[in-house]
Amino acid sequence: MAKYMLLMSYSGDTACDLPMGEWPPEDIRAHIDFQHALDAELRDKGELVDAQGLAGPEVAKTVVSDGRTSPVVTDGPYPEGKELLAGYWVVDVESEERALEIAAKASAAPGPGGVPIRQPIEVRQVMSAPA
Amino acid sequence: MPGDRVEDLLRTLAPQVLGVVARRFRDFDAAEDAVQEALLAAARHWPSDGLPDNPRGWLIQAAVHRLTDHFRSEQARRRREETLAHEPPPADVPNTDDTLVLLFLCCHPALTPASAIALTLRAVGGLTTAEIAGAFLVPEATMAQRISRAKARIKASDVPFRLPEAGEREARLQSVRHVLYLVFNEGYTSSAGASLHRTELSGEAIRLTRLLHETLPDDGEVTGLLALMLLTDARRPARTGPSGELVPLAEQDRAKWNRAQIREGVALVTKALKRGDAGEYRLQAAIAAAHGIAPRVEDTDWTQILRTYRLLERMTDNPVVSLNRAIATAMVHGPAAGLELLATLELGGHRLDAARAHLLELAGDTAAAIRHYDAAAARTANTPEQRYLMTRAARLRASSRIDLRGS
């Protein structure tokens, strides 16, 4: 078994450039149902370690410190056309193939009109034995 | 009675009690849940209340009680309950085969390795779901789900609660050995310190394999597996440094090795090898024994080790064996011969780069060694191993004042 983190980003590189707030309500509903069903599947298979969505970049802060003077805290990031983390899953699976399969499913989450958004999902193996 | 003594006793009794109850009620799934609840109740009460006169009988009674409640609450099972109500409570007849039956059941090839491991640790090892989840660093609910899926799978496959037929037995035994070996490795390949729970998995794998060995003393491969685990585990105290960093075999302080475990492992493998037609575990144990009996690293009998890897390579298509054979070749015939063999291998991950780096370092090709240590460090998914590889590269850089990245 190995753990993988599947990172989902807001990205220009999807089939859907409409912000979710502007989708028809039933499509938002379908999207949320899809995410719940995916989490339920992972839980049912005994593969889910953690899954979280992150609050938007509007409330994000970035901290930089040299460990001596007071840290510099800035609002954002507000990247332009750059990828920004939206949420993640941590799964514990038999193989990399299975992690990729889950990522593919997540990427095909339905958008407006039920069309898959094709959101890019980054698949990263979690290092074992944190010392 | 102190809590850890109670825990040891409970873990010993767990498979015996489950054997009696499952055999009697012919429902492994429900029996396993009931026994787990009985064990939890005992763990709660015995340390303060003291042991009952007959701990085993107490556990059987408690499990039967819960099972009866469970059946009573399930309407669909009414008829069965009526039958049971008219039968006397199960006799506490020790059945030496029960542990074996349980191991065969929990390591059934229909299960994925992860499910088989989880179920074995709970049903045979007597660990709680929370303990197993902690060892594998997943939430308890996730581990619980894995266990109940495994049990559902067993139920669906209609595996009977008895020893497999003679013709099927060796193949099934192979799955049992494999699962126990996976449990051992899960504990061994992780570092000490932060992952204390995981090292306990190796101890548990040794305990269960010992149990299997007591049941099947004439199975050479079971003996070999036990020897391999003991010999490998004997090096654990020397395998990591003060801050959890990996210490390679050649640099380990052999005074820290567990001598008693090495003696036992060597005796077991010597006996098992006399039987002839050695299998993989016996051969791997023989290699571990060759390292174990060398007082200093320069005393290692690499010729013998190389010969054993050749035998092993004929038995398996595992490229890691070929990789180890290449390293043994380098130790006998020089790094160039080893590197030549490595060039013929195809292997994903970091191991090939790490082996190449090591042999290049031996050959004195510092620049190339650094390059391969860097590549291996970038590919490994194990933190202590990554630190080891990076440190190795850094040490070579410092000694040769070469900075490839800066050029």
Q: Are the Cβ atoms of A131 and B383 closer than 8 angstroms?
A: yes
Collapsed DSSP state (helix, strand, coil) of residue A128: strand
Residue written as token pair 């709660």 = B44
Q: Are B182 and B231 in contact (CB under 8 A)?
A: no
Q: Is the pLDDT of residue B92 over 80?
A: no
Contact: A50, B382; criterion CB under 8 Å:
no
All residues of chain A having their beta carbon less than 8 Å from the beta carbon of residue B143 are: 46
Residue among B112, B136, B145 with most chain A CBs within 10 A, to mutate: B145
Are residues B387 and A126, on separate chains, in Cβ contact within 8 Å?
no
Q: Which H/E stretch holds residue B325?
A: helix B319-333
pLDDT of A87 over the 50 cut:
yes
pLDDT at B192 exceeding the cut of 50: no
- Residues of B with Cβ-Cβ distance to A131 under 8 angstroms: 191, 193-195, 243-244, 383-384, 387
Share of chain A above pLDDT 70, in %: 90
Backbone dihedral angles phi then psi of residue A52, each to the nearest 5 degrees: -145, 145
Between residues B174 and B189, which one has the greater pLDDT?
Answer: B174
Find where tokens 């998914």 sit.
Answer: B381
Structural contact between residues B335 and B327, judged by C-beta atoms closer than 8 angstroms: no
B294 falls in which pLDDT band (50, 70, 90)?
very high
Minimal Cα distance from A124: which residue of B?
B381
Indicate the Cα dihedral angle B108, B110, B114, B120, nearest 10°.
-20
- The string of pLDDT tens digits covering residues A56-75 is 888 889 999 999 999 999 98
Instruction: Give the closest residue to B212 by CA, choosing from B112, B296, B287, B106.
Output: B106
Kindly determine whether residue A129 and residue B382, on different chains, have CB atoms separated by under 8 Å. yes
> Given this model, what pLDDT does residue B81 score?
57
Q: Does B152 touch chain A (CB under 8 A)?
A: no
Nearest to A46 among B113, B145, B191 (CB): B145
| Cα Dmax for chain A | 53
Domain with CATH 1.25.40 in chain B: 318-407
> Please, what is the average pLDDT of chain B?
88
Alpha carbons B275 and B188: distance in angstroms, whole number: 29
Q: What gap in Å lies between CA B27 and CA B83, rounded to an integer?
A: 14
| Closest alpha carbon within chain A to B243 | A131
- Rounded to the nearest angstrom, the minimum Cα separation between B161 and chain A is 25
CATH code given to domain B318-407? 1.25.40
CA distance A131 to B382: 10
**Which DSSP symbol is given to A4?**
E
Chain B residues within 8 A of A97 when measuring between CB atoms:
none
Tell me if B381 and A126 make a contact (CB, 8 A cut-off).
yes
* H helix runs in B189-256, sequence order: 196-215, 220-233, 236-239
pLDDT band at B199 (very low <50, low <70, confident <90, very high): low
- Which of A45, A92, A97, A124 is the best substitution to test chain B (most B C-beta atoms within 10 A)? A92
Q: Does the complex come out with an ipTM higher than 0.90?
A: no
Candidates B143, B149, B383; nearest CB to A130: B383
Query: Using a CB-CB distance cutoff of 8 angstroms, which residues of chain A are in contact with residue B191?
Result: 129, 131
β-bridge partners, A93: A2
Residue B149: list chain A partners with CB under 8 A: 44-46
Q: Which residues of A touch B (CB under 8 A)?
A: 1-3, 43-50, 92, 94, 125-131
Q: B232 phi and psi, to 5 degrees?
A: -70, -45
Taking the Cβ of residue B386 and every Cβ of chain A, the question of whether any pair is shorter than 8 Å is answered with yes
Cite the DSSP H helix spans in B26-89. Answer: 28-49, 55-73, 78-85
Which of these ranges, B39-53, B86-100, B225-239, has the smallest mean pLDDT? B86-100
Partner-chain contact A43 B191, CB within 8 Å: no
Q: How many helices (H) and strands (E) does chain B have?
A: 20, 0
Whole-number Å distance between alpha carbons of B284 and B179 = 17
A4: left (phi over 0), alpha (psi -120 to 50) or beta: beta
Nearest-neighbour CA in chain B from A50: distance (Å): 8
Q: How far is A125 from chain B (nearest CA, A)?
A: 7
Q: What is the interface size between A and B, counted as CB pairs within 8 Å?
A: 67
Residues B283-308 have a mean pLDDT of 97
Contact B142 A43 (CB under 8 A): yes
A 10 A CB-CB count for B31 gives: 26
Instruction: Specify the pLDDT at position B251.
Output: 93
Q: Considering only alpha carbons, which residue of chain B is nearest residue A2? A: B381
Cβ-based contacts of A92 with chain B (< 8 Å): 114, 136, 138, 142
Spatial separation of the C-alpha atoms in residues B164 and B27, rounded to whole Å:
17
**Rounded to the nearest 5°, which phi and psi values hold at A50?**
-165, 150
CA distance B75 to B209: 41
Of residues A121, A130, A119, the one with CA closest to residue A90: A121
Indicate whether B1 pLDDT > 70.
no
CB of A28 closer than 8 Å to CB of A35: no
Amino acid at B52: P
Assess B190–A contact: CB distance below 8 Å, yes or no: yes
What is the C-alpha to C-alpha distance for residues B264 and B213, in angstroms, rounded to an integer? Answer: 13
Residue A50 has pLDDT above 70, yes or no: yes
Q: How far is CA A128 from CA B145, B195, B269, in A?
A: 22, 10, 31
Side chain identity at residue B258, one-letter code = N
E strand map for B318-391: none
Outline where DSSP puts E strands in B223-370: none
B377 CB neighbours in chain A (<8 A) are none
Mutation target vs A (from B111, B112, B132, B142; most A CBs, 10 A cutoff)? B142
- The alpha carbon of B243 is separated from its chain's Cα centroid by a whole number of angstroms, namely 25
Q: For chain B, how big is the Rg over CA atoms in Å? A: 25
Nearest CA in chain A to B148: A46
Distance (Å, rounded) from C-alpha B34 to C-alpha B90? 15
pTM for this structure?
Answer: 0.85
Q: Is the pLDDT of residue B34 over 60?
A: yes
What is residue B168's three-state secondary structure?
Answer: helix
Ordered structural domains, chain A, with CATH? 2-55+80-125 (3.30.70.1060)
A92 Cα to chain B: minimum distance (Å): 8
**Confidence (pLDDT) at A13:** 63
Residue of chain B whose Cα is closest to the Cα of A131: B194
Name the one residue in this structure whose structure tokens are 């037609």: B277
Which position has the token pair 């990729």? A100
Amino acid at B129: T
Kindly give the residue spans of alpha helices, DSSP state H, lying in chain A: 25-44, 96-107
Residues of chain B above pLDDT 70, percent: 90
Q: Give the residue-averaged pLDDT of A86-104.
A: 95
CA-based end-to-end distance of chain A: 19
Tokens of B338: 């080893």
Interface of B with A in 353-382 (CB under 8 A): 381-382
Q: Where does chain A show beta strands of DSSP type E?
A: 2-10, 48-53, 61-64, 72-75, 84-93, 121-125
C-alpha closest to that of B256 among B276, B271, B239: B239
Q: Please report residues of A whose CB lies closer than 8 A to that of B146.
A: 46
CB proximity B383 to A under 8 Å:
yes
Q: Whole-angstrom Cα distance, residue B402 to residue A81? A: 40
